[in-house]
A and B are shown apart, each in its own frame.
Chain A
Amino acid sequence: MLTISIMIACGMVLIALILNSWRLVVGPNTPDRIIAVDTMYINSIALILLLGMYRGSPLYFEGALLIALLGFISTSAFCKYLLRGDIVE
């Protein structure tokens, strides 16, 4: 049962990813695109976790952790760029 749930969940996350990429493509503004990418980061975390569960391997955890950490930094850098241009002034 868990396997099936994982697969269904996986499918849903993939649909979510596709939807996000639609937002990424159409925009219309740069902030819209940033949210789209940010959300995709988080979806990727889910995808990696699901992959780990599916394969029964704990090796993927760090990947998820890093995406969480780095995705945030990347998003804040993009926002900072829009706000001030210079991100480490």
Chain B
Amino acid sequence: MSLFLIPLLPLIGILVPLFTERLGRNACATATAVLPACSLALVLMAAPNVFDGVVIQQQLGWIPALNLDLSFHLDGLGFLFSLLILGIGLLVILYARYYLSEKEAVGRFYSYLIMFMTAMLGVVLSSNLIQLWFFWELTSVSSFLLISFWGHNTDARKGARMALAITGAGGLALLAGLLLIGNLVGSYDLRAVLDSGDIIRNSSLYPVILLLVLGGAFTKSAQFPFHFWLPHAMAAPTPVSAYLHSATMVKAGVFLLARFYPVLADTELWFLIVTLTGLSTLLMGAYIALFKHDLKGLLAYSTISHLGLITLLFGLNTELAAIAAVFHIINHAVFKASLFMAAGIIDHECGTRDMRVINGLWKYMPITATLAMVAAASMAGIPLLNGFLSKEMFFAETLHQSTLGALSWLIPVLATVGGALAVAYSLRFIHDVFFNGEPKEIPKKPHEPPRYMRVPVEILVAICLLVGIFPQWTVGPLLDAASMAVLNAPLPKFDLALWHGINLPLMMSLVAVVAGSTLYYHRRNLFRFQAQFPEVDAKVVFHNVVNGIMLSARKLNAKLENGSLQRYAFLLLLFALLLAGAPLLSLDLSSYAETTPPDGVFITGTILLMLGSIMTVLWSHKRIVALLMLSLVGVIVSVAFAYLSAPDLALTQLSVEVVTIILLLLALFFLPQESLMDRTKPSHIVRDLSLATLIGSVVGTISYALLTQPLDSISTFFLENSKSGGGGTNVVNVILVDFRGFDTMGEIAVLGIAALGIYKLLAGMTLYMPSKDMANRPWAKEKHPMILSVVSQSLLPLSLLISAYIFLRGHNLPGGGFIAGLVTAVALIQQYLAHGVEWMSKRVKISYHSMIGVGLLIALLSGLGSWLFDRPFLTSWFDYFSLPVVGKFELASAMVFDLGVYLTVIGATLLILAHLGKLTTTERLEEKY
């Protein structure tokens, strides 16, 4: 037998209902049940081994980096839980067949249910910590789906969300705890971990680990103060409650306590936290249960209370208490599942679950009533029923503890109070529903449910009785095996008999029954007392808390992310300043000295440049003037490049600058002509100016340091290899088209993309065109001054010739494809300027974006050409030829590349300008002069 099959069969089973849904509810339910039933059979087949104390383990590697193995084991505890999960699961499948109506998505429901079943099996069978957590979270996920099955219902949505949030948070804590455990033990194998209890308990991290793991367990098991999600999860269809909230999901929490009992228990901290949590949950749950008018609400709080009881037992740190806990897990699962199912039947048949209107059902559904009453009695801890046995053990164990010192007596007393409350709410369940007069206005006329809907309840109640009467015979071996697994040690002696003689626990039971009955009898006073306190709806509170957090997050977010680019830019620059400026504090500039004294030209240039820059800023409100100043700056920068031995740069900067200015002028027409300065607060000016100055200082300082220090760079290589390796004497150009041709390819790609992007920006743009200029003067009449047109036309061939000249000499002298392209483009722009877009578009039929494409393609192909010669991309080739008349000349692949650059530049520049110009084809209203 393969252990993997146990969770694997239901896993496959998730799909079964989806495919069988259309065959009808009977077929669907039957088909769905098949695989879990097989799984159950497999579990049962392993019983002999398990009862012999043999632990079966199987594993497969999965993600070693995470120490996540696909690893399962089957010990007593796992066996017990598998039985509950599969057994009760099968009953719930049967029950749900009748519970859900024809109209509902039965397939989806079963699918979720099986998904949940798989997840639960995974949890209880995992022998790898991470895998355990994996399935643990899956239970939260699938229970979310189940609770929210009626998602159109607000309560269902909110309940499911709350359940997910709380159990999810617990899951996160658990993950942290498990990782810490794994790290501490050095293994994520559960078997290894279980044997390393001492390492963990003695570790300094023990309190943290304990809190994290308990966080997982308590949230899942709805322990106080995390209990509030469970009642709201009752918005789920009742089969879900019967399954999740009695036998399985909420038990996952106590399962975790049981699983890690050998590792984490037996310390004072454990005792304090677990016992007190359990105790308060026990009391609180039982007390509130008493006041719930909703049938399922009562059961939910009773569940909370019983989970508290189990937790309390685990907390007591005695072996017998742990055994009692395991026993109560079984018992509670059985009677609570049957009670939920009964409640579901009542709800189903009456159309309501409100005990204030449901009365006297004994008359209408005697069989169901009997079953429910037996189960309720078990819940109350009445002898002859299973609930009584574990409660007796519980009372007994509360007496055997002393960690609270002189206050230790409180625990048994409070336990008895809890017992009394349980009796009271059980009584209410029985009396208020089945007796207490006639039903009030309920939507349906109640009668017995369909035959097979009752079967699951009958089976479960039968178990209650059988276990209650013949405990040793029915659950003895199972309990032994499970307890052994929990304790991870040989079992102490204990007796599972119905009668232990008259002892203190029996007295406590008696007191509980009497007190509980009295309490119920005087319930009206109690209800009146309770009515003084406002009822706190956890859902509303939770909702309000989450909403409150979201609202304040929204406010904070709006304050921080205020939509001001100014602020974002300021932050970016400030951040950059801090990053670049901080290291400079330790820069010692004294070792840096000037090498060249400045001459007159340089000084004048500097003055002009500074003047131009400052004037640009000062005039930035009057944009046209600022542009003029900026264009001056551009020219001076170009001249500076020429002066500082960079002719190529000078040419490029100059041509780019002119095209840019033209572009800005074009744009300026459509933008406000002046910036409104009165918007800016003086304090902002000071702030911005300070930042700008600081950044400027940092940049200047770095620049000075770089200029005055010797640099050992790779550039000598370029100077040495330019002619021999690249075939050109203009080293800058050879770098561009050869050594770093890849950069240039990228650069023209940028240009091409920008043009395409601009084309997109311009598409469908409608702009406000001022009919007067900024001083409210109407525009001049003449669109295209004649002499400009004439002169531009005659300059065009000349400009093209010059661009050809610049292009061809680029490899050896200043120039190259880029500058030539810009010169051509500028010459054509001049034509646009002189004649207008319309005139040009009639005459120039070139598709500029095709031109970009061709340019890029040529550049790319010139690079790919080298593949034919078994060289890497962009490897250049050049050679010298001679022809009769022409003489010797050079041909180089770099020139083809440069041609690509040339075409791309022209295409991109003109695509931008020509389309920009098209915006204005709409005629402006000519103003009267």
A63–B247 Cα distance when bound, in Å, is: 89
Task: Looking at the assembled complex, report how far the CB atom of A24 sits from the nearest CB atom of chain B, in whole angstroms.
Answer: 7
B608 to chain A: which residues have CB within 8 Å? 17-18, 21
Q: Number of residues in B with C-beta < 8 Å to the partner?
A: 66
A14–B921 Cα distance when bound, in Å, is: 44
- Given B628, B642, B830, which contacts A34 in the complex, CB threshold below 8 Å? B628
Determine if B837 and A62 form an interchain contact, defined as CB atoms under 8 angstroms apart.
no
**Which chain A residues (24-60) contact chain B, with CB distance < 8 Å?**
24-25, 27, 30, 33-34, 37, 40-41, 44, 47-48, 51, 59-60
What 1/0 flags go to B806-843 for Cβ under 8 Å of A? 10000001110001000100110110111011000000
A87–B665 Cα distance when bound, in Å, is: 7
B629 to chain A: which residues have CB within 8 Å? 24
A83–B783 Cα distance when bound, in Å, is: 8
A25–B608 Cα distance when bound, in Å, is: 11
- Given B615, B802, B834, B836, which contacts A25 in the complex, CB threshold below 8 Å? B615
Most chain B CB inside 10 Å of its own CB: which residue of A27, A48, A77: A77
Most chain B CB inside 10 Å of its own CB: which residue of A11, A25, A78, A85: A85
Closest to A22 in B: B611
If A48-B639, A74-B658, A76-B788 touch, does A87 touch B669 (CB 8 Å cutoff)? Answer: yes
A74–B607 Cα distance when bound, in Å, is: 23
B139 at the interface (CB under 8 A from A): no
Determine if B650 and A33 form an interchain contact, defined as CB atoms under 8 angstroms apart.
no
If A63-B651, A70-B654 touch, does A84 touch B830 (CB 8 Å cutoff)? Answer: no
A65–B785 Cα distance when bound, in Å, is: 25
B111 to chain A: which residues have CB within 8 Å? none
What 1/0 flags go to B617-639 for Cβ under 8 Å of A? 00000001101110110011011
Task: Looking at the assembled complex, report how far the CB atom of A57 sits from the nearest CB atom of chain B, in whole angstroms.
Answer: 9
Determine if B815 and A62 form an interchain contact, defined as CB atoms under 8 angstroms apart.
yes
Determine if B837 and A74 form an interchain contact, defined as CB atoms under 8 angstroms apart.
no
Total of A-B residue pairs, C-beta within 8 Å = 151
**Which chain B residues (783-801) contact chain A, with CB distance < 8 Å?**
783, 785, 788, 795, 799
B802 to chain A: which residues have CB within 8 Å? 65, 69
B814 to chain A: which residues have CB within 8 Å? 59, 62-63
Where chain B touches its partner, the secondary structure class is: helix
B601 at the interface (CB under 8 A from A): yes
If A14-B604, A48-B639, A59-B813 touch, does A88 touch B833 (CB 8 Å cutoff)? Answer: yes
Task: Looking at the assembled complex, report how far the CB atom of B713 sits from the nearest CB atom of chain A, in whole angstroms.
Answer: 23
If A59-B814, A77-B662, A88-B836 touch, does A48 touch B783 (CB 8 Å cutoff)? Answer: no
Determine if A77 and B833 form an interchain contact, defined as CB atoms under 8 angstroms apart.
yes
Determine if B773 and A89 form an interchain contact, defined as CB atoms under 8 angstroms apart.
no
Task: Looking at the assembled complex, report how far the CB atom of A18 sits from the nearest CB atom of chain B, in whole angstroms.
Answer: 7
Determine if A67 and B654 form an interchain contact, defined as CB atoms under 8 angstroms apart.
yes
B181 at the interface (CB under 8 A from A): no
A16–B651 Cα distance when bound, in Å, is: 23
B655 at the interface (CB under 8 A from A): yes
B916 at the interface (CB under 8 A from A): yes
A80–B921 Cα distance when bound, in Å, is: 16
Determine if A84 and B780 form an interchain contact, defined as CB atoms under 8 angstroms apart.
yes
Where chain A touches its partner, the secondary structure class is: helix
A69 to chain B: which residues have CB within 8 Å? 795, 799, 802, 823, 826-827
- Given B632, B650, B770, B836, which contacts A40 in the complex, CB threshold below 8 Å? B632
If A44-B635, A74-B658, A87-B665 touch, does A60 touch B642 (CB 8 Å cutoff)? Answer: yes
A67–B637 Cα distance when bound, in Å, is: 12
A10–B654 Cα distance when bound, in Å, is: 21
Determine if B601 and A47 form an interchain contact, defined as CB atoms under 8 angstroms apart.
yes
Most chain B CB inside 10 Å of its own CB: which residue of A44, A74, A83, A89: A89
Closest to A34 in B: B628
Task: Looking at the assembled complex, report how far the CB atom of B832 sits from the nearest CB atom of chain A, in whole angstroms.
Answer: 4
Task: Looking at the assembled complex, report how far the CB atom of A29 sits from the nearest CB atom of chain B, in whole angstroms.
Answer: 10
B779 at the interface (CB under 8 A from A): yes
Determine if A37 and B655 form an interchain contact, defined as CB atoms under 8 angstroms apart.
no
Determine if A14 and B826 form an interchain contact, defined as CB atoms under 8 angstroms apart.
no
B668 at the interface (CB under 8 A from A): yes
Task: Looking at the assembled complex, report how far the CB atom of B57 sits from the nearest CB atom of chain A, in whole angstroms.
Answer: 81
B770 to chain A: which residues have CB within 8 Å? 85
Determine if B669 and A18 form an interchain contact, defined as CB atoms under 8 angstroms apart.
no
- Given B769, B823, B833, which contacts A66 in the complex, CB threshold below 8 Å? B823
- Given B642, B650, B823, B917, which contacts A89 in the complex, CB threshold below 8 Å? B917
Determine if B658 and A81 form an interchain contact, defined as CB atoms under 8 angstroms apart.
no
Determine if A40 and B635 form an interchain contact, defined as CB atoms under 8 angstroms apart.
yes
User: Which A residues lie at the B interface, using CB under 8 A?
Assistant: 10-11, 14, 17-18, 21, 24-25, 27, 30, 33-34, 37, 40-41, 44, 47-48, 51, 59-60, 62-63, 65-67, 69-71, 73-74, 76-78, 80-89
Knowing that A77-B833, A82-B773 are A-B contacts, what are 7 other residue pairs whose CB atoms are under 8 Å apart, sorted by A's residue number? Answer: A30-B625, A51-B643, A63-B650, A78-B628, A88-B916, A88-B920, A89-B837
Interface pairs A-B: 6 shortest CB-CB:
A88-B917, A83-B780, A70-B658, A88-B832, A89-B920, A85-B669
Offer 20 A-B interface pairs, CB within 8 angstroms, sorted by A.
A10-B601, A17-B604, A24-B628, A25-B615, A37-B628, A62-B647, A63-B647, A66-B655, A67-B635, A69-B802, A70-B655, A70-B658, A77-B661, A78-B627, A81-B624, A81-B669, A82-B773, A83-B785, A84-B780, A88-B833
